[in-house]
Chains A and B, each alone.
Chain A
Amino acid sequence: MTKEVSLEIDLGHLHLKNPIMPASGTFDVRCTLLNENELNRLGAVVVKSIAFKEREGNSEPRTCETDCGLLNAVGVPSKGVEYFIKEELPLLKKANNIIIVSLLGNSVEDFCNLAEYLNKIEEISALEINLSCPNLNNGIPFGVNEDKLYELIFNIKKNTSKPIIAKLSPNVSDIKKMALSVQSAGAEIVTIANTFMGMAIDIDKQLPRLGNNIGGLSGPAIRPIVVRMIWEIAQVIDIPIIGVGGVCCAEDAIEMFLVGASAVQVGSANFSNPYMMLEIITGIKRYLKEQKHNSIQDIIGLIKD
């Protein structure tokens, strides 16, 4: 009998049965096609960013497909934290033992209040801080300024004992500085990266295609840039990296492991194929067997400087 390969991975204090999870905003436990068994096969579930109070999101149109990608300006609609706890959390508990909650705020205080509020909820495994949503009104996300980034993460840490995952914005000139900043502020894990700011125009109507004019680009178009960023960050930080951006198959995820990601989130590809994450898990196992590795850990960060 051949030995089953291990996909188990540690992200700081989090122990995952495998390294595949949805990217925030691309998974909703209230309307997934996956049944409970299938949801439990994921390494973790990650919920769409929640805000303290209800927010309605941007005006339509909110999405537009571009070459090899998806531009979105959904604008993080949220029914607020109380709705989340009452309506979503019970379903998430059945779905997976690792629940990662993405947080959104407009100020340090906002984030801290949310973090403190959620700290008492045992079932939440970690908080992912959405530092980079480009769709907010003031247009200046925390994630583009290393001092603001430090201040935010440092203060959130004071309000929660849960592991903090800093989801970085790729819309910066030096991603390494941002990663170092969140590491020194106390983040246990970094997710790299959120969407890239983009724009698309309807040349017949001579108007932007998104209601918000600009939006975030995801999909295969951005993957090589994210792979480069993971590789760069992996050389300078000691905390684990979650890679995300355009992963559409096991091979795409494997690229990210090889350059130093310990886990991979699958984002907008879930929209095309709701079973994508499960297919990727199977594909990674196959790859490891073929390459004669016993564990996913054998291939993480094989490609160095």
Chain B
Amino acid sequence: MENPRDINSILTKGKIIEQVNLSNNYHKIKIKAPQIPQEAKPGQFVMLSKWKIKELFLKRPFSFYNIEPNLGTFDILYKNIGKGTQILAESKIGDLVELIGPLGNGFNIPENTRKVAVVARGIGVAPLIPLMLESKKRGIEIYSFLSAQTENLLLCSNKIESISRETFYTTDDGTKGAKGKVTGFLEKILKEIVVDVVYTCGSKRLAKHIRNLQKKYNFLAFVSLEEHMACGIGTCKGCVRKTKYGYKRVCKEGPVFPVEEVIFND
């Protein structure tokens, strides 16, 4: 039973201390808010606003891309696609944001895990990077499978290569790696070695492919889901996704779910 006092999420202010345009509409922002990274785990997220409630009504959810408890900072990656991210993109060093976090359940790294695969498309890599760093720390071998429309949308590829045992790329236009399905590469690897866990984020299509491969090759698989959120803390029941066990809140029971529990009906 949840109890109000067991929730370690807080409402706090943070300061923007770095803002980098990665590529096109993709940005990285570094925020100093010491209490949040103290508690944050890979796969969790924050609700963030850099606007007054009457300018833009709700906070927006962002996954942790980097968590640095010692520095009291965390990073998020975002794509400038709407009013909120536009305000964020126009923000300056020293600007304040309001945060609720850390929120949600993070990625589970089961004991005795030896090899994992991460599969992501575009900005979907963001929440997987802290997971990869944590896995690396635990001596786990990482195989990365990244896809994007085109080469410059393969975000953070240097960082991922430096953490991974092997990295595979596919792009829709063939500018880097192969054309075609990134899960094709994953299947090749699955045929050769035993992968204990596969992690993915964002893309329903990737998650569905992974679910199919899971039936064939038998591994644990987790997907971090995205959904519109109003509160981020479980109250509004707005961000649900259909699972084998009925509707589950992405913010509270998720955002990370076992792939086999999620019903992908499109």
Contact = CB atoms under 8 A, between A and B. Distances in A.
Interface stretch (A24-32, A184-192, A237-245, A288-296): A24-32
Contact of B11 (A28, A29, A273): A273
A273 B53 contact: yes
Interface stretch (A3-11, A59-67, A120-128, A164-172): A59-67
A29 B3 CA distance: 8
Contacts of B2: 30-31
A64 B58 CA distance: 10
Given A56-B247, A74-B236, A274-B11, A61 B227 contact: yes
B23 interface: no
A240 to B, nearest CB: 27
B247 A77 contact: yes
B4 A35 contact: yes
A153 interface: no
Interface stretch (A100-108, A227-235, A264-272): A264-272
Contacts of B236: 25-26, 63, 72, 74, 268, 271
B57 interface: yes
A174 interface: no
The contact size tier of chain B is 35 or more
B57 A268 contact: yes
The contact size tier of chain A is 35 or more
Interface in B238-264: 238-242, 246-247, 252
Interface in A14-63: 25-36, 39, 48, 56-57, 59-63
Contacts of B7: 31-33
B237 interface: yes
A28 B230 CA distance: 14
Contacts of A219: 57
Given A25-B236, A271-B235, A274-B233, A31 B252 contact: yes
B230 A72 contact: yes
A220 B54 contact: yes
A135 B246 CA distance: 19
A33 B247 contact: no
Nearest to A90: B1
B9 interface: yes
Contacts of A29: 4
A62 B238 contact: yes
A274 B232 CA distance: 11
B57 A68 contact: yes
Contacts of B100: 33, 274
A298 interface: no
Chief secondary structure at chain A's binding surface = loop
Given A63-B228, A63-B230, A248-B54, A272 B237 contact: no
Contacts of A31: 2, 4, 7, 233-235, 252
Given A56-B246, A65-B57, A91 B237 contact: no
A39 B240 contact: no
Contacts of B105: none
Contacts of A273: 11, 53, 98
Contacts of B241: 60
Interface string B1-31: 1111101011100000000000000000000
Nearest to B56: A65
Given A31-B7, A57-B247, A77-B247, A63 B234 contact: no
Contact of B238 (A30, A63, A68, A91): A63
B231 interface: yes
A277 to B, nearest CB: 13
A184 B134 CA distance: 65
Interface in B100-145: 100
Nearest to B49: A272
B211 interface: no
Nearest to B234: A31
Nearest to B10: A33
Interface in B38-61: 49, 53-54, 56-59
A74 B4 contact: no
A220 B52 CA distance: 12
Contacts of B229: 63
Given A271-B230, A272-B57, A274-B11, A57 B240 contact: yes
23 contacts: A26-B235, A30-B1, A30-B234, A31-B252, A32-B7, A33-B9, A33-B233, A36-B5, A59-B242, A62-B239, A62-B240, A63-B238, A65-B56, A69-B57, A70-B58, A70-B230, A74-B238, A77-B247, A268-B236, A269-B53, A271-B231, A273-B53, A273-B98
Interface of B: 1-5, 7, 9-11, 49, 53-54, 56-59, 98, 100, 227-242, 246-247, 252
- Sorted from nearest, which 8 A-B pairs have the closest CB atoms? A31-B234, A63-B238, A271-B231, A28-B235, A271-B230, A62-B238, A30-B2, A63-B230
Interface of A: 25-36, 39, 48, 56-57, 59-65, 68-70, 72, 74, 77, 87, 91, 95, 219-220, 248-249, 268-275
Given A30-B2, A32-B4, 14 more contacts: A25-B236, A26-B235, A31-B234, A33-B11, A48-B237, A56-B246, A57-B237, A59-B242, A62-B239, A62-B240, A63-B239, A91-B3, A268-B236, A275-B11
